[in-house]
Amino acid sequence: MSDAGVDDSTVAPLCGRLRENWWRLALIAATLVMAAFAWYEPLVAVFTVIPVLTWCWGLARSDRTGTVVGAILLALAAWILLPRDLGLSGQWVPSVFDVCLFLPILTAVICLVGIRGERSRGLPAIGFCAFAVAGLALGGYTAVWYSEGDTGNEGVWPGPSGLRVVEGEREGGSGGFSRQLDATGDRAPERMRDYLSSRGFSSQGDDSPSICRVNGVVLTYKVCAVVEDISPTMVRVSWWI
């Protein structure tokens, strides 16, 4: 057999599989790219990827149903991940608690509707029940973690581009921790305030120097920050939950 014959016998089936499964690869690739940029919240990234991977490689049978349900799951993933990729958040972006508690239930319903009539529902039902239980467990763990005040980036870090940003030491104890950063550069105080305002932080309407925002759609929590002008070219920001 010639080399060309060997190549044809190897490549042709591979090309056929790629043509048949292009939609699976496209949906998975798009989700993984979004998750990679949101990896600073690994729990959210992993939980958002699992439904798309499970549907595309484990549950979907027909191209038509697979593409429609996969597109719905991709849109759901984009709602969760894209704002994080862009540094945005607020009451229209699902919080980590929303993701852990509601995403497994919502995706289970979507997938079970999609596979009805395509295959036995016993195994998928068991799998998604396990996914929901894992979400509840991790949601509870995350709630304890947040109650201890272990503050994440929360839209403050790494600060606006063009400024030199250095993170300070964390302050606090068992009641909670705050994080701090110093930013230097041209018009640093003004640019930092504009940066935080664009990410949903606003004044509380009283004499408090804090600016706050609420994260999450259903299960919400508040993040607050204080911006302190050190000089016209230096600003210090402290934030906590």
Query: pLDDT tens for residues 149-198?
Result: 567 778 888 888 899 999 887 776 545 678 899 999 999 999 999 999 88
Q: Is the pLDDT of residue 228 over 80?
A: yes
Rounded CA gap, 236 and 79, in Å? 32
Q: Is the pLDDT of residue 130 over 80?
A: no
Higher pLDDT, 135 or 237: 237
CB atoms under 10 Å from CB of 38, counted, come to: 21
Question: Which among 186, 171, 176, 189 is positioned nearest to 238, based on CA atoms?
Answer: 171
Which positions ≥6 away from 97 have C-beta within 8 Å? 139, 142, 143, 216, 219, 221
Which residue has tokens 């110093």? Answer: 182
Question: Which among 42, 53, 3 is positioned nearest to 152, based on CA atoms?
Answer: 42
Going by pLDDT thresholds of 50, 70 and 90, the confidence category of residue 6 is very low
The pLDDT, as a whole number, for residue 33 is: 95
Query: pLDDT tens for residues 50-71?
Result: 889 888 887 778 888 888 999 9
Determine contact, residues 86/114, Cβ cutoff 8 Å.
Answer: no
Rounded CA gap, 236 and 218, in Å? 32
Query: pLDDT tens for residues 57-109?
Result: 877 788 888 889 999 999 999 999 998 888 777 778 898 888 888 888 888 88
